[in-house]
Amino acid sequence: MLAQRAALFKSSGTAAARIAAKAAAASGRDIIDLTAGEIWSELAPSVRVGAIAAINRNLNRYTDTVGLLKLRQALAGKVSAETAQPWSADEIAVTSGAKQALFNAAMALLSPGDEVLIPAPYWTTFPAQAVIAGGTPVFIETRNSNYVPRLVDLAAAVTSKTKAIVVNTPNNPTGAIYDRGTLAGIAQLAIDRDLWIIFDECYGAFAHDPHTHHSIVSVAPGVRDRTLIVNSFSKSLALTGWRIGYLAGPAPVISAVKALQSHTTSNPNVIAQHALLHFLERGDPAFQLQLRRQVAKARSLGLSILSALTLVPRPAAQGGFYFYLDLTELQRCANRNGRDINADDVVNALLMEAGVATVSGTTFGDPAGIRLSYGIDLELLDQGLRRLTVALNAWN
Ligand code: PLP
């Protein structure tokens, strides 16, 4: 018999979509997989050099639970530059990816029954972790406001139980980037109603012209002592497997996180920590530029192919590396022809009819959207999106 708590653990929907794509490919079908939450890329040279140097130095021991002091100092420097405020090492915890930073934040902040405002569509881990920590997710619809929450909706959802607001910009899955006005408004709401902000900026390296990513702390410095910044190198350096992320926030929260982490995973992998320290000390501008160019090129190729869609509006794709398609019109059209379809049906049909794997919006709390990753090889992306466009247009 499992603990009652185990009923709360539902495997991530994005992982399920990846598994379905792999199973279809394993059965011999020609599948183009647009489900990945990562960028196909070579390893960053600075990371490779830093890791090899650490191995050659025979490093094999535990580090400080929340990361090497030098790495926390370097990250404090990074966060200081990004927020235009000074940060110190005791305000930083290095974690095994941003996912652990978010989990630590949920466990440190939420008491049973606390509510967390989460704009929807949402990355599926936000509500899952809130629930595991005993909290209650409260979703704020953003479909009718270009996937950015309206302040009136956020304010109306605040109750005496509300503890935190999740702000994820650039957004997974929608690709929306919150502008300064929105960030300032959310910050003011948090101050007025005494709330925490969990600020996930994992896709901040990919803001597409003319959009700019802003840290909420740089926009509204007064919100700093109630903000937990979550970031990682998984997306920005195409380093998902290395599992290095961080949490930046007030020192008492970081101490609680340190105690928690000391009983869960201890320190993040020592070699990966040294590799990222080397990256932060030496920089790798050529690699970063090339990665950003690769993503920008994939985005413009994708947008030009998707412009041929007849019943689906052009996705905004302001940041990150996802196209989020709005299926509302397609669903209406199917409805007029006597068919009732949701995003899962569209994803299944695309997999079966076109050999293209995508992620259903139902995973993100939205039955009228699908997410396509453009972090993949350009030729495959080209083929995959052409197949998808033909298939969706045929439903017209
Ligand atoms: N935050 C968001 C919004 C994400 O989409 C992801 C991964 O997809 C993460 C955090 C987790 O990143 P990491 O691989 O660093 O744990």
User: Which of 18, 202, 206, 242 has most ligand 1 atoms within 8 Å of CB, for mutation?
Assistant: 202
Counting from 1 in the atom list of ligand 1, the atom nearest the Cα of 171 is 3
For residues 11, 14, 19, 20, the Cα torsion angle rounded to the nearest 10 degrees is: 110
98 Cβ closer than 6 Å to some ligand 1 atom: yes
pLDDT number for residue 93: 98
Look at ligand 1, atom 2, and give the residue with the nearest C-alpha: 202
In the chain, DSSP assigns E strands to 32-33, 92-95, 115-120, 136-141, 162-168, 196-200, 227-232, 245-248, 322-326, 356-357, 359-360, 369-373
Look at ligand 1, atom 5, and give the residue with the nearest C-alpha: 172
User: Which of 99, 147, 276 has most ligand 1 atoms within 8 Å of CB, for mutation?
Assistant: 99
pLDDT number for residue 195: 98
Distance 99 CA to ligand 1 centre (A): 6
pLDDT number for residue 395: 81
99 Cβ closer than 6 Å to some ligand 1 atom: yes
Counting from 1 in the atom list of ligand 1, the atom nearest the Cα of 38 is 8
172 Cβ closer than 6 Å to some ligand 1 atom: yes
Look at ligand 1, atom 1, and give the residue with the nearest C-alpha: 202
pLDDT number for residue 189: 98
pLDDT number for residue 222: 97
Distance 318 CA to ligand 1 centre (A): 18
The CA distance from 210 to 296, in Å, is 12
Contacts 24+ apart (CB under 8 A), 247-252: 247/92, 247/93, 247/95, 247/101, 247/104, 247/105, 248/75, 248/76, 248/79, 248/87, 248/91, 248/92, 249/91, 249/105, 250/91, 250/225, 251/90, 251/91
Q: Where are the domains of the chain?
A: 4-42+286-393, 61-282
User: Which of 123, 126, 129 has most ligand 1 atoms within 8 Å of CB, for mutation?
Assistant: 123
pLDDT truncated to tens, each residue of the chain (396 aa)?
899 888 888 777 777 778 888 888 888 889 999 999 999 999 999 999 999 999 999 999 999 999 999 999 999 999 999 999 999 999 999 999 999 999 999 999 999 999 999 999 999 999 999 999 999 999 999 999 999 999 999 999 999 999 999 999 999 999 999 999 999 999 999 999 999 999 999 999 999 999 999 999 999 999 999 999 999 999 999 999 999 999 999 999 999 999 999 999 999 999 999 999 999 999 999 999 999 999 999 999 999 999 999 999 999 999 999 999 999 999 999 888 888 889 999 999 999 999 999 999 999 999 999 999 999 999 999 999 999 999 999 987
Distance 12 CA to ligand 1 centre (A): 12
Distance 98 CA to ligand 1 centre (A): 6
Judge whether 4-42+286-393 and 61-282 match in fold: no
Distance 261 CA to ligand 1 centre (A): 18
The CA distance from 99 to 102, in Å, is 5
The CA distance from 2 to 235, in Å, is 35
Question: Is residue 364 within 8 Å of residue 171, measured between CB atoms?
Answer: no
Counting from 1 in the atom list of ligand 1, the atom nearest the Cα of 14 is 8
pTM of the entire predicted model:
0.97
Distance 40 CA to ligand 1 centre (A): 16
pLDDT number for residue 382: 98
Look at ligand 1, atom 7, and give the residue with the nearest C-alpha: 37
Helices (H), 215-365: 216-219, 251-264, 270-282, 285-306, 328-336, 343-349
371 Cβ closer than 6 Å to some ligand 1 atom: no
Distance 69 CA to ligand 1 centre (A): 24
Task: Give the CATH fold of the 61-282 domain.
Answer: Aspartate Aminotransferase; domain 2 (3.40.640)
CATH superfamily of 4-42+286-393: Aspartate Aminotransferase, domain 1 (3.90.1150.10)
